[in-house]
Structure 1
């Protein structure tokens, strides 16, 4: 046997001492006689702390020059604690290299020295668990606030560089799960075994959709089974019964209304904006002579389908930005976006994602540590980073400091103005499942028109409105998934979304008279009640507060993108190392999954470029 080194002799001696007289609540020793440089530890949680009654395993890894240099202690699995990195590594003074602190925070006698011992380390760790020191938080290279699709894609892109390790990146998420506004229900929530996307459901702009193309190229989508073009001409109903769309050429008139709106605002950028409701009225005033009575009766109400795009009512929707130029058809994602979230998350170490950690403060020019940014969470943790990507929804950014994130120093007024230059909608969903299918199952979708002459549509609802007050857009999931029972997914808009998400037990009462119109049995006086109801909760979730960006009358979508995209000089935040991502920060794909996804890639690549890393190569 080769003679033991100085480090091995020291470690063996300390093990013998710990075995003879172990400190209370601690067990520690080498993994084997052949490997004295790796120790397994069990640390008992101190009483009267959140860790009480727990026993936490940890690994001590010693350098070959021990005791000249300190070991590394890592809890496995990691603990949630302000002085523990997301990967479980402990950050306390006694484990820091000997000598002067370059940040001038710790005194030399507080840091490691050869006279320290393993027993002192473990006792210090127990003390740390009992009395966290948020002033000495963990340090990382890049922090990402928000584990939605833009935040996850940013983290995955950063970690794809061979020079970036899981210890360098931390995704901080307020909720107890990842995905943000992408949320696929569990199959056990369904009586029919269907997993529903309660957030985004479609691959929009299918001719130019990065997410769709990436999933196809990675073999994650079976184009025969996982997607469906659900764009058969919609069948429409009103409170009077089926609407004669084909015979009365109603879709042709709707197309004329849309073209009229485009031409009206195309003449000059300075034309004052009008609500969608008002610009539709202008169309009828100018073109009434060309329209039949049936066309005048239905076509204006049919234009309210756009409420189920923006998540707001047509008396609020900007006429100028109501008509969108789509780059391809809309492809329904039958597999669910939860699969995309899970696939990206598998490429990110669990230790790089910190859940249940709402951010309360961001210090833009941190002075406490060598890192440039300090992030503080509501539990008192402090995280220090060189780069920060903020991916929280626009609805959270727009909150003032009393309700949302506190910025120190305050954000520039130009950014505050940009937050207020655009609004956000509340696009919700109601899912009804039935034992039987009582509607025409050959149809992909249904549109149920609201009654005419509705006023004050955007006012907050204090009670359930009469049926047919707001239009509904229904997707026939029985056809999409070929189920035995019936399944209808209904899109809702504010303020109906807000009310139903707060009162989900009233959803059937509102929609039952509307769905009655779909019945293919003319003698049926009453359609069957659902066997299961699922209602989204986006507006009651304090970390979401709605769906995505929406254009109110007189809103300007460009200003927010200019201030947050980082692509325009002398705009946005003055600290270039603080970046923003999300569907509200990008023009191509705004409000869509692929827009958020691309914005995450954009910001991660900016950091890699700024840090001297491009395509995995360091620039020298």
Structure 2
């Protein structure tokens, strides 16, 4: 029996014991569908919306017991609602999901007010040192340098350290602080700064970032609800383990699941996250099914690990006029010791009306803390002590902790894709866009625009629906898609 929309969408919401509704399999009198979509994140759902509303029959196979992918909102009976996946709507000047959220009446908040910067010893860095101005200059220098795309790439670490040592009028204090402050970008790219590409490492934003305070599940659910359910067969708990050619002459594909089911289709859209493609599903594709460039990209692509931790306390002890607080790392300290890695804490009081902080981490700390959530407070405590407005008072009791587990979940293995020093978006993305005949790919890792973001993934779902519909008519849309990417300024501008 097909699961009702209400049952299915409610399953993207966690609970205080993480019990999620288990789905029944869809009614099925045939193993054939015109299109099979693997994964039920925002890219797969958007593709399903566009196809089913054109009267195309779609089968969606989801490995987990709920839809939503990396959009996952925790809700409990005490009124908490925290997003374990995406929390922000980025680039709000050109983000259609932002406009959609406004129309839905979602509660949003621009958390881009004042920032507080602290050393790893808990000392607040005074604005009078002007260290952040040096960071801004270093970012601008990187952007100017890589207007020449032929310039050899460097890591963000190497470029920044060279800049502070060679640029005039930088004080000794700034030479120490500015590089560690630049490491805030580790909490954007979610890889260590000695692996971040300087060429592509400075984000260029098109508008402010809005925090979704009412829960991202409302946005996802509204998109999911647009699917024409009469043309969709949804299967949860259906992990795909093999994709192969069923019939070369008719260009059909066979898709096999771990539970032993076999399905065939003319088109297969793979929206499996980059981390799972690289590590969990190494034998997913039959030999010689993928072009060599695509095999290479899947094998070599870098994975980001952004950890997210929600901490609630008996009372607020940090400066309430700050939207964000950064605790700097220290390269001289041994890895995986408190104070070695940069941390960003977002003030949750204006977001949720609760005495909470939202902490972000980068690897390798993310991997360690997601595997050992009982160690979270120990690692954060030095930073938290530094945030105290009244240093004479002890920290209030922590009353609640929520941690992500994306790196530990075999269906994800990471939070999103990333770009290493020496790699470029063109080589990493075009193989996914080209696909393998009617075997297509979508997701945040398959786009240059808004790479790693929800709106980027959403757009790829639309892109692949357009491809499939055009290919069914014999149009040459795939080449138009490729040409549009080739004309993009690949420096991210």
Q: Give the TM-score taking structure 2 as reference length.
A: 0.87
- 1:545 corresponds to: 413
Matches within 5 A, 1:37-436: 80=25, 86=26, 88-91=27-30, 138-161=31-54, 163-164=55-56, 168-188=57-77, 193-216=79-102, 219-222=103-106, 226-266=107-147, 268-287=148-167, 289-348=168-227, 349=229, 352-363=233-244, 365-367=245-247, 372-399=252-279, 403-436=282-315
Gap change, CA 1:368 and 1:553, over 3 Å in 2? closer
- Structure-2 change in CA distance of 1:414 and 1:369 (3 Å): closer
Considering only aligned residues, what root-mean-square deviation do their CA atoms show, in Å?
A: 2.4
The question of whether the paired residues in 1 share the 8 Å contact of 2:92 and 2:209 is answered with yes
Query: How far is the alpha carbon of 1:404 from its aligned partner?
Result: 4.4
TM-fit CA distance, 1:195: 0.8
Q: State how far apart, in whole Å, the 2-side matches of 1:236 and 1:302 are.
A: 8
User: C-alpha displacement at 1:454, in angstroms?
Assistant: 4.2
For residues 213 and 407 of structure 2, the distance between their equivalents in structure 1, rounded to whole angstroms, comes to 25
CA distance in 2, matches of 1:580, 1:545: 18
Considering only CA atoms, is the larger Rg found in Structure 1 or Structure 2? 1
* Contact 1:422/1:556 (8 A) holds in 2: no
- Which of 363, 370, 380 is 1:501 aligned to? 370
Measured after TM superposition, the shift of residue 519 of structure 1 is 0.7
**Contact 1:423 1:555 survives alignment (8 Å):** no
CA distance in 2, matches of 1:271, 1:150: 34
Task: Tell me how far 1:487 sits from its aligned partner.
Answer: 0.3
Contact 2:348–2:358 (CA under 8 A) maintained in structure 1: yes
- The structure-2 alpha-carbon separation of the partners of 1:421 and 1:263, relative to structure 1 and needing over 3 Å to count, comes to farther
Contact 2:61 2:234 in 1 (8 A): yes
* Counterpart for residue 611 of structure 1: 472
Q: Partner residue of 1:442?
A: 321
Asked if structure 2 preserves the Cα contact closer than 8 Å seen for 1:426 and 1:498, the reply is yes
Classify 1:400/1:442 alpha carbon distance in 2 versus 1 (closer, same or farther; 3 Å). closer
The alpha-carbon deviation at position 416 of structure 1 amounts to 1.4
Shift of 1:368: 9.9
Structure 2 gap ranges (5+): 3-21, 476-493
Which residues of structure 1 form unaligned runs of 5+?
1-55, 58-76, 81-85, 92-137, 458-464, 567-571, 615-620
Checking the alignment, whether the CA contact within 8 Å between 1:583 and 1:596 is kept in structure 2 is: yes
Query: Residue deviations 1:212-240, cap 9 Å, x none?
Result: 12333xx2135xxx011100121111134
- Displacement of 1:611 in angstroms is 2.4
Q: Select the residue among 332, 335, 343 that pairs with 1:472.
A: 343
**Runs of 4 or more above 6 Å deviation:** 368-371
TM-score (norm 1): 0.70
Aligned mates of 2:141, 2:157 — CA distance in 1 = 13
Match of 1:115 in 2: none
1:438, 1:598 → 2: CA distance? 41
Residue 209 of structure 1: how far off its partner (Å):
0.5
